[in-house]
Structure 1
């Protein structure tokens, strides 16, 4: 059967509390029910980079673990250190979250292992979460049985955040970092940096470090100075 792969560490801010659902409320409600053990099955999340797929996979694992379900987050990366056999021996996992599954499309050893995982989870009461940039039919799989199994998943496409949603993300992540970021200051930052969620969070990390060094609050003048320093 092989050994279980080492679990990847969850990001400390990856939780349902820090995820702004905006127009993705149905998906988030489904995942919260799954994490509580009220629902199961195979769920496929798709959408462009920065839509929150990884955040939701990790949030589901964190919530499931707190509810007493053994959970594991595993990003697939055929160009990295993982081998296809990392998908063996996962029968004891109650909730498995596989990220970037489309990166193994067209690679027979990976597709064979992934099919076995899908087949096993669909025939049990356990939960399998999958994330990719596109829906199952467009993922590029060549193994017919894998295409068929993936097509049977509940598919959710994540919608982009609205302007208000992006502002809520900034304020929520600042709050969980212990930072005081008012709406006006958040709007100022949003108007001047890349609005991709990951980049917004990276900016918060930079501002958090700078505010600690200078013992300053996150105000418009402080952020203006930080942005100027970044450009210089």
Structure 2
């Protein structure tokens, strides 16, 4: 019960363009911010590079985010509303039926690309289109328009991203705690962000400030 009450009062930070640390990805982020009807963009990069964050940010105002592993894709036989932005994340996880649906969506996107009924189609995967193990005719369509590789953050950029997330959520994070996290914990941004959120919950439950001893206590509690 105490854990649930803590979860209920924690601030939720939604993925936005303004809380994404671009690093060396300025052009890709700028293109996504300005993605217009009639455009298609495929993002690729390793786990933790920010693909999901950016797709969620892009669909926040006028779009629909879909994860290929969990969400059904729209029926390609039904017209997509003009101006809608559709984002399909992790295309490497498409089932045969979903791959057929995305193939149909691309055909519809291409047919309407230069018309008043155009819509935006964003996709992502872990590697360049030609390296994906999905149907050949879909590989071609993923490259029909813009393709961007997302570069992973350097250590300095990761620190900046972590401190920004902490500031966003009102979590006081000292240099000592930050250094410990980077020296003794995974440097993947997803893992660091998850640790920060869990540490915030733990500090509230224990009614203690976030310090290195508290961090060690939390990690020990996970393995006890």
Quote the residue 1:129 is aligned against. 122
Note if 1:28 corresponds to 2:25: no
- Say which of 103, 109, 116 aligns to 1:115: 103
Note if 1:50 corresponds to 2:43: no
Quote the residue 2:134 is aligned against. 141
1:178–1:223 CA distance, 2 compared to 1 (3 A): same
Tell me the number of residue pairs that the alignment of Structure 1 and Structure 2 aligns: 207
1:20–1:126 CA distance, 2 compared to 1 (3 A): same
Quote the residue 1:97 is aligned against. 87
Aligned counterparts, 1:1-232, within 5 A: 12-34=13-35, 37=36, 40-62=38-60, 65=61, 70-77=62-69, 82-83=71-72, 86=75, 89=78, 91-92=80-81, 94-104=84-94, 107=96, 109-122=97-110, 123-124=112-113, 125-144=118-137, 146-232=138-224
Q: Aligned partners of 1:195 and 1:127: how far apart in 2? A: 33
Tell me the TM-score normalized by structure 2. 0.82
1:128 CA drift (Å): 0.9
Contact 1:171–1:183 (8 Å) recurs in 2: no
1:169–1:87 CA distance, 2 compared to 1 (3 A): farther
1:138–1:211 CA distance, 2 compared to 1 (3 A): same
Question: For each residue in 1:61-99, what CA deviation from the matched residue of structure 2 results, as whole angstroms up to 9, or x when unmatched?
Answer: 11xx1xxxx31001112xx5x556655536116111101
Contact 2:65–2:87 (8 Å) recurs in 1: yes
Contact 2:68–2:98 (8 Å) recurs in 1: no
2:34 alignment partner, SS class: helix
Task: Show structure 2 runs of 5+ residues with no match.
Answer: 1-11
1:164–1:90 CA distance, 2 compared to 1 (3 A): farther
Moved >4 Å (runs of 4+): 82-88
Task: Show structure 1 runs of 5+ residues with no match.
Answer: 1-10
1:150–1:181 CA distance, 2 compared to 1 (3 A): same
1:191 alignment partner, SS class: helix
1:88–1:216 CA distance, 2 compared to 1 (3 A): farther
Q: Aligned partners of 1:71 and 1:90: how far apart in 2? A: 15
Q: Aligned partners of 2:125 and 2:208: how far apart in 1? A: 40
Question: For each residue in 1:145-182, what CA deviation from the matched residue of structure 2 results, as whole angstroms up to 9, or x when unmatched?
Answer: x3332221311111111001111121111112111113
Q: Aligned partners of 1:179 and 1:40: how far apart in 2? A: 41
